[in-house]
Amino acid sequence: MKNKNERVFTINRTEVLNAISKAIMANKNDKPLRVGISGITSSGKTTLANELSKQLGKMGVPVIQARMDDFHNPKSVRYQRGRESAEGYYLDAYDHQSLLNKLLIPLGPNGNRQYSVKSLDLSSDQYVDSAIETAKENSLLLIDGTFLFKDDLRKELDFMIYVQTDIDIALERGSLREQHALGGLERAKSIFIERYHAASRMYLDEHEPAKYADMILVNNDLDHPELIVNNRK
């Protein structure tokens, strides 16, 4: 990584996944490695996490996969400013302290490797006593989340990938995916625009997540994405 930003043009998604996997493995040692994936809502974060989990698993890496969405606050907190409030989603949706205490800090360099991957069940809106597991010393955490590179969380990540997707493309993907859950396509688009993507813009403005990423995946074209490698050292 010689340049501040080295743009790598790739032929297909397999090539991109190979490049990301190699970069992750180059940072591995005998301690758990905490890899975070962030991006605006419906940018393709979880899809990338699933792909990398499968690929790294084939390489013999003990992968722990987690989602920031499993560390939500209950409805009484996350909807206190209104169901469609962008500020409410940005400020109130997630339980950062549980995410730090139950997952990120235990897997950190001074942690005890005793972790759990869930604090709240969204369907029942109830806190859960998720099983506490012990990570292997050479394990790798893959966690994705829209606001994962906020300052208090970012400092507890060892390697960061930002999934960059144009907001209009993410809007189409997300509203199609969530149309049944949100009351139809037009209603889903409205909620994405007014709540999720308005909050995503706040995140981009305040925290500039791409600036801190080790790698940026330009994910507008799923089959032919583009990779940018940041030299942050």
DSSP 74-132: PHHHHTTT-TT-HHHHHHHSB-HHHHIIIIITTTSTTS-SEE-S-SEETTTTEE--PPP
pLDDT (tens digit, 9 = 90+) per residue, 14-71?
999 999 999 999 999 889 999 999 999 999 999 999 999 999 999 999 999 999 999 9
Q: Looking at the predicted structure, is the pLDDT value of residue 1 above 60?
A: no
For position 130, what pLDDT does the model report?
80
Tell me how far the alpha carbon of residue 225 is from its chain's centroid.
18
DSSP per residue, 145-185: -TTTTSHHHHTT-SEEEEEE--HHHHHHHHHHHHTTTTTSH
pLDDT given for residue 183 in this prediction: 95
Q: Residue 7 has what pLDDT?
A: 65
Q: Residue length, the chain? A: 233
The confidence score (pLDDT) of residue 4 equals 53
Whether 106 has a pLDDT exceeding 50, the answer reads: yes
Which pair of structure tokens corresponds to residue 195?
A: 């709540």
Strand 140-144 and strand 63-67: the pairing is parallel
